[in-house]
Structure 1
Amino acid sequence: MAKGNKNAVWLMQGWLFSSDSGFWKPPQMKALLHSVPFGKMIVLDLFAEVKPIWNTSAQFYGTPYIWCMLHNFGGNIEMYGVLDSISSGPVDAHVSKNSTMVGVGMCMEGIEHNPVVYELMSEMAFRDEKVDVQKWLKSYARRRYMKENHQIEAAWEILYHTVYSCTDGIADHNTDFIVKLPDWDPSSYVQDESKQTDSYMISTDPYETKRRFLFQDKSSVFPKAHLWYSTKEVIKALQLFLEAGDDLFGSLTYRYDMVDLTRQVLSKLANQVYIEAVTAYVKKDISSLRRLSGKFLELIKDIDVLLASDDNFLLGTWLDSAKKLARNSDERKQYEWNARTQVTMWYDSKDVNQSKLHDYGKI
């Protein structure tokens, strides 16, 4: 790099220090970080809003770093965030003793979702004090919907303490059953508690083992979707959103949030129905299995109709945005193929070398 440009700076992701922490102990980290002249490397503390490295590595042992929010994996769409961490983490890092933090950044794997998370994170680049999230959300709601509404303010307070307060340390991949491939065999369910693994063990999924080493809830061989909040409370927030409809029906941002929140509620309801259906299967309760299977299929249809009510959730919008980037017909075909593949399989066309990335990016 230096031969090509004497002013070159190596911008390196710090993910390896977390994903392979068994190897990257202090001596190994120092050896790597100190092998580059000071000022010629900047480390991205990639997942700092959930698993910061700076505070357990003596500020990357003196190497400049950027406090980053990762937030999204694979472009998954789900209401999720850690607003308290975002509102305070960059400030804590910046004012800490011997801080080597030189900036803030965002390195999400997908955009156009959870606008509240990205608006707050964007502001943190210009703030030198922590944000009072509750007060900030009231201002955010007024700006977003162009008017003050008490039901909406109450709804956002609930969302702040539920969907946007994930503190379990699990990287959210949207594991709702309604968006996952049907690749779990219910006959493998074993109720023997002695055969269950410890909660939050490192995932043994082939893809995650090779790249992410993300923590997943493995407390049971029974399938589990990621849930970190009270669904009853979020239903209350949805009811408040509905009550505000007469006042805010003309707001496109209100419509987007209304659709998104309803999708979130229905997806979590579908998780419950799915588990009940699998339980009925295990118990050989055919009548309940048929009823619950029908209910699950109806929820799929309901969500499909719901999402069709807003252009932002349509597949056509996604495909058109990709095709518009093309400069000729060949690129147009390639970009559309890429866009379709990204939200379905992410696979190689070779039968002998198919990617394990299926079901990673979900919309």
Structure 2
Amino acid sequence: MNVLIVDDLGENVSLLVEWCGQLDDVSATGFENPLRALDWCAVHQPDLVIVDYRMPELDGISFIRRLQRMPNRGNVPVLMITADSERTVRHEALSAGASDFLNKPIDRKEFLSRARNMLTLRAGQKALEDRAEWLAREVNKAAATIVERERETIFRLSRAAEYRDPETGAHLMRMANYSKLIAAQLGEPSSLQELILHAAPMHDIGKVGTPDHILLKPGRLTPEELIVMRHHASIGFEILSDSTSPVLQLAATVALTHHEKFDGNGYPSGLTGDAIPLVGRIVAVADVFDALTSERPYKPAWAVDEALDYLQAQSGQHFDPACVQAFMNRLPEVLDIRARYRDSGETARPQLSRAPMA
């Protein structure tokens, strides 16, 4: 336990340091200059401060007030030395943060008893602080575990939906990471980037409600079948909405809006421009790019440059121009993600056959 003694008289400092040596597990440091003592407090953590009231450069009350304003020093107990007649000073010192008082002349036994009692209280206070910090760490660890399990569950549910569709788990990882890249390039906060990363894989969860004869049909859908297929956006929203989870709340928005088009010709609501939530506009670019560049039973994979040309040709029509440009600006990272998350059994794929459109 660190005891700080501040008194402008050197003999008083020496005496109190000597008396503190009679206490167990105590290290005492003394200063005659209160300003130097404050400098010491800025670097070291005192457990008890013993300060005289009458000092020429800075009186004891002013010292306490400055100490109280220092980070993590507001709870340090302070024992002030005063004359018995200075009642007004005592009241002011209590208001400033003094914990107890010693009357001059100082009695050794009284000093040791008061100092020992205050250090015992300080030890209990530190134990509570340590316990609180430990509990906070444990709560954070438990919360992190819950979040990780939630994310794993979300991804597995997304995989379950994809198993009813010709798409793959690698598709989910690619489009989710593309979505995060776009959000980062647009300057969205890292917290939203992470939410998008984990919400984007749920974009087609509503396909669990689409009949197999429509979902798995290898050819072009009839107008009636297309209407049924498009219901998956609303179904996904109904599955995910009303959740208390921020990830699922965002995923509900993604599910509902990632098929909206910037010019208003999308579904299910025909929203236009900024009326489409940003996450829906972001995921639309990421999802279509990966769908175009991925092989499916009903189509071959497009070359990357062809898919990029399509994104730019549809900028302002299907896609938000800002999201397309953000995607293009992060193209090297897009290609890294595409190479990292390959479909099972797939070999390394070619990247650009030519430079994309500016």
TM-score (norm 1): 0.21
TM-score normalised per structure 2: 0.22
Larger RCO: 1 or 2 (CA < 8 Å, sep 6+): 1
Name which one, 1 or 2, has greater alpha-carbon Rg: 2
